[in-house]
């Protein structure tokens, strides 16, 4: 358990250092690491955690980390998850708040950030394609419908995510119940 805690902490430490652009980036990365490499979670479990994390207040990444930690090693795990996730942004932002002017005008940093942004888009595109593919392969049309409607609404309107999640699940459950009976 101690080695699990350490591995969780170090994994989240370096994943968190790469989550440019918010919670969406870290989720595919966590999925690859925790599901495929370490085998600690299943695909379904990580998606549940993301859904719960988005329904709870606060930063999605931190909320997912808490749940992964709890799942792996109880409360010590949750603490390892939290600290692993917040230490990189805390350090980076504290440093930047001191050297903001130098940071924002540096040519090298601008180029590097540009490169990393494109690379992150590549990794995310790859992981999301796999998730969407899984849903389409499942041959369950209610799931296709829920995914597409939530996708379109979330892209075109500014409805809060929590309503999209709750509504998608509720309406989907109603339709599924009716078609089965």
Binding to another protein, residues 86-105 (CB under 8 A)? 86, 88-90, 92-94, 96-98, 100, 103-104
Q: Which of residues 52-71 bind another protein (CB under 8 A)?
A: 52-64, 66-67, 70-71
Which residue from 59, 58, 56, 65 is spatially nearest to 29, judged by alpha carbons? 65
Q: What CA–CA distances, in Å, run from 94 to 89, 105, 168?
A: 8, 18, 39
Extract the tokens encoding 179.
């078609």
131-150: contacts with another protein (CB under 8 A)? 131-132, 135, 140, 142-144, 146-150
Instruction: Render the burial of 98-135: b for 16+ CB within 10 Å, e for the rest.
Output: eeeeeeeeeeeeeeeeeeeeeebeeebeebeeeeeeee
What is 41-54 written as a DSSP string? S-HHHHHHHHHHHH
- 181 interacts with another protein by CB under 8 A: no
- Whichever of 5 and 15 has its CB closer to another protein, that residue is 15
Residue 80 makes contact with another protein by CB under 8 A: no
By the rule CB under 8 A, 72 interacts with another protein: no
Q: How far is the CB of 160 from another protein (least distance, A)?
A: 4
For position 7 contacting another protein by CB under 8 A, the verdict is no
The residues in 31-50 that bind another protein, with binding defined as CB under 8 A, are 32, 44, 47-50
């Amino acid at each position: 358990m101690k080695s699990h805690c350490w591995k969780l902490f170090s994994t989240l430490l370096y994943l968190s250092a790469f989550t440019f652009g918010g919670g969406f980036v870290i989720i595919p990365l966590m999925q690859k690491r925790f599901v495929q490499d370490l085998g600690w979670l299943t695909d379904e479990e990580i998606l549940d955690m993301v859904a719960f994390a988005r329904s709870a207040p606060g930063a999605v990444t931190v909320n997912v980390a808490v749940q992964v930690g709890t799942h792996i090693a109880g409360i010590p795990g949750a603490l390892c998850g939290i600290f692993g996730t917040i230490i990189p942004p805390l350090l980076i932002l504290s440093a930047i708040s001191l050297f903001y002017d130098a940071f924002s005008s540096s040519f090298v940093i601008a180029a590097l950030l540009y490169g990393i942004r494109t690379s992150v888009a590549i990794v995310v595109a790859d992981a999301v394609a796999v998730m969407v593919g899984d849903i389409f392969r499942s041959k369950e049309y209610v799931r296709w419908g829920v995914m597409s409607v939530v996708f379109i609404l979330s892209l075109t309107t500014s409805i809060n995510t929590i309503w999209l999640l709750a509504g998608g699940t509720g309406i989907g459950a109603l339709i599924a119940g009716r078609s089965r009976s």
